[in-house]
Structure formats: C-alpha cells, structure tokens
Homo-oligomer: A and B are copies of this chain.
Amino acid sequence: MKNFVYENPTKIIFGKDTISKIGSEISSRQINKILMVYGRNAIKNNGVYDIVLNSLREANIAVVELPGVKSNPVLSKVEEGIELARSQQVEAVLAVGGGSTFDSSKAIAAGTLYEGSVWDFFGRRKEAKDALPIFGILTISATGSEMNGLGVVTNEREDKKWSLYSPKIYPQVSIIDPSVQTTLPREQTVNGAVDIISHVMELYFDGSKNIDIMDEYSEGIIRTVIKHVQVLLSDPDNYESRAQLAWCATLALNGSNAPGRRGGDFASHAIEHSLSVWTDIAHGAGLAIVFPAWMQYVYKENIQQFVRFGEKIFNICGGSDEEKVLEAISRLKQFYHSIGAPVSLREAGYQEQDLPAIADNVAQLGVIGNLKRLQRDDVLEILKLAW
C-alpha cells in the first residue's frame, strides 16, 4: 500500500426532491449572482430547470444563463462562458446537467480567474491556482465529475480531447436526485454504467499490490453496477436501482477508491478521448470498445489481478491463469454487448484506415498508462485489437 493523501471537500446532497435545496446552499455562502451552465432541452423537459430557477429566485440569487453545452463539450463554449462570467461579474458557476456540463463549468470557473488561455490547464501542463466556487445539480450519473477536481474538454480547433485537474475545482456542493434520471434514454444509462465500471477498472488494474480493501471496494462497485444496470434496462423507473447506479458513479471517481494505489492507469481513457475526436462517440461507448482491448494487450504485466477480476466479478474458477483472464475479458465483452454497448470499432462506424491517425492523436499526450507504459505503436496495436 503506497503512501497517500486523501481529502475531498465536496458536500453531496443525495436523494428524491433535493434539487430545491440549491438556492439556500448557494446563498448561505454569501453568493448573490451565478452563471448557470446547462445543455439543451433535457432539463426543461424533465422539470429540473424550473425547480432550480425557483429555488434560486427564492434565495434572491441573480442568474446568468449559459445553455448549449453538448456531450463531448468543446473549448469554444467554455470560452464563451468565461467571457460571460467576466462581463456579468458572476460570483460562482452552477452546473445543471451531466458530466459535460460539470466539466465545462469547472473550466469556466478556473478560466475566469486566469489571465492566459484556459487551455493551458489541459493536458496537465499547468494547474489552476484559483477558481470561482462551483455548484452542481447532477442529472446524468456517469463521469463522477460531481465530486472531484477533474474535467475533460475538447479543443475542437486542435482536435484534442484533454483533461484538467485542480484541487480548486471540486464542486462545493453537488445535488444528486436519481429520480430525474428515470427519463434518460436507454443508451445514456448504458454508457453511464460502462463509464463507472471503466473508472473503477482504471484504478483496479494500475499495478498496485497489497491493496485488499481497495480491491474489495472496487469489486463491490462493479458487481453493483452490473446488477442494477440490468434492472434499469427492463425497468427504467426503478428508483432504487437508479440510486445505486448514481452513488456508484460518484464513488468510482471521487478518490475513495484510490488510496494506496499507484495513481490509476487511464490509458483506456486517453485512447477513448481520441476516438471521440474522430466520431463524437459517447464516452461510455468508446470505453466499452477500448477497455477489453487494453486488457488483452496488457494483462501479462500483472496477471494475478486479472485472474482475481475474473474470479470476483464473473465467478470464473476453472482453467489456467491465462485461460481465466481471457475468459474474463470475453465475459466483460459479452456483458457490454448484452446491455447494448458496442464492443468493436468496426460496429461503431470507424474506418480501419483511420487507426494510425487515431494512434497519432493519442501520442500527442506522450507516453500513456501506468500498468504498462504505452507508446504510439502500442496504442495502434490496442486499436487493432479493438477493431
């Protein structure tokens, strides 16, 4: 178990009918004017928009709106938000939506107080030293952005989907009402489940040793997601399963799963980000394709952990270690296929001749991964396995 520092300042308010608490949470922190960031029509259709505006009005908080954040959010929208935050002199940013909205809001909050280009913070080249306070209403559980200091944005001018991290961009308060997620399209539920499982696996397979308690915790999250996403596919209104999935999403990337580990791997995430640059594929769908291919390419680096995964997640008990691992990868792909996630680049509409260029795009980040350090040609091999 490696030395670690653990700290997470975000306050989570979770459950039915909790969204209307946002006004008092913000006003109790002496904030009077906010930038409200959201996507398109979803929050207007499910009633969240009205609840939020009413709550803010009752708390006497002035609102500047920035609608139009899209999935795989783009830098130009962040820049628009920074301009607006400055010109309107807002005191905080409120994200209302899913991970894209939260990530954009974090970049806006950091960029507003920074003289240079906000893009400097991406690719971990600089760390934001300050940010406006961030609040959030989560309406799609997947990325875990509601309780961490991470964000991912696409620079569409440079074809780079990169991440930023700063301890200054943890939301102060995030509200999660799973009941508003019952109206999500089926594929968003599926993509969310894949994203959650992938976050856990990025940490689980990072080459850490002697980490039973964190492995147990990781396996618990994965089993819970596998169970409850299947419930939701036949019963999307099931509140209990929505709640389980929502809390798993937060736990999967709020740092609670990281203590004592080697920092996670995140090569699959880096590769997926380049896939999104190519076709705007949903993050979860891209991960369902990439992660099993990554596992196949790297498992020999720490075969016992992959054996353990097969035993604990899929109850695989027979065969050699190698056979168990290959069976586990196969079972993961079967599971993804069964819930409707793509498991190959081909079925997701990629062209085989684009794979080298996608590998080049990933290689702009330099060497990636932690369990196995991956060069551009390693990435190309993984893409071929994913083909």
Contact = CB atoms under 8 A, between A and B. Distances in A.
Interface of A: 1-16, 18, 210-213, 216-217, 219-221, 223-224, 227-228, 240, 243-244, 247-248, 251, 256, 259-260
A56 B281 CA distance: 54
Contact of A220 (B10, B219, B259): B219
A169 to B, nearest CB: 17
B247 A259 contact: yes
B11 A6 contact: yes
The 10 closest A-B pairs by CB, nearest first: A3-B15, A216-B220, A1-B243, A210-B240, A7-B11, A6-B12, A213-B224, A212-B224, A4-B14, A5-B13
A209 B186 CA distance: 26
A210 to B, nearest CB: 4
A216 to B, nearest CB: 3
Given A3-B16, A213-B224, 7 more contacts: A1-B247, A2-B15, A3-B18, A12-B259, A210-B240, A212-B227, A213-B220
A149 to B, nearest CB: 14
Given A1-B240, A3-B18, A256-B256, A248 B12 contact: no
6 contacts: A1-B240, A4-B14, A6-B12, A7-B10, A212-B244, A213-B224
Nearest to A228: B212
A209 to B, nearest CB: 8
Contacts of A4: 12, 14-15
A217 B210 CA distance: 18
Nearest to A178: B1
Given A220-B213, A220-B220, A11 B5 contact: yes
A191 B260 CA distance: 24
Contacts of A18: 3
Contacts of A5: 11-14
Which of the listed residues A211, A216, A221, A223 has the most CB atoms from chain B within 10 Å of its own CB? Answer: A216
A310 to B, nearest CB: 18
Nearest to A241: B210
Nearest to A211: B244
Contact of A247 (B9, B13, B260): B260
Nearest to A5: B13
Contacts of A7: 10-12
Nearest to A223: B216
A223 B213 CA distance: 9
A260 B244 CA distance: 9
A248 to B, nearest CB: 5
Contacts of A227: 212
Contact of A3 (B14, B212, B224, B228): B14
A194 to B, nearest CB: 17
Nearest to A21: B5
B221 A251 contact: no
A332 to B, nearest CB: 18
Nearest to A212: B224
A159 B12 CA distance: 39
Contacts of A240: 1, 210
A364 to B, nearest CB: 34
Contacts of A11: 5-7
A261 to B, nearest CB: 12
Given A1-B243, A260-B243, A213 B251 contact: yes
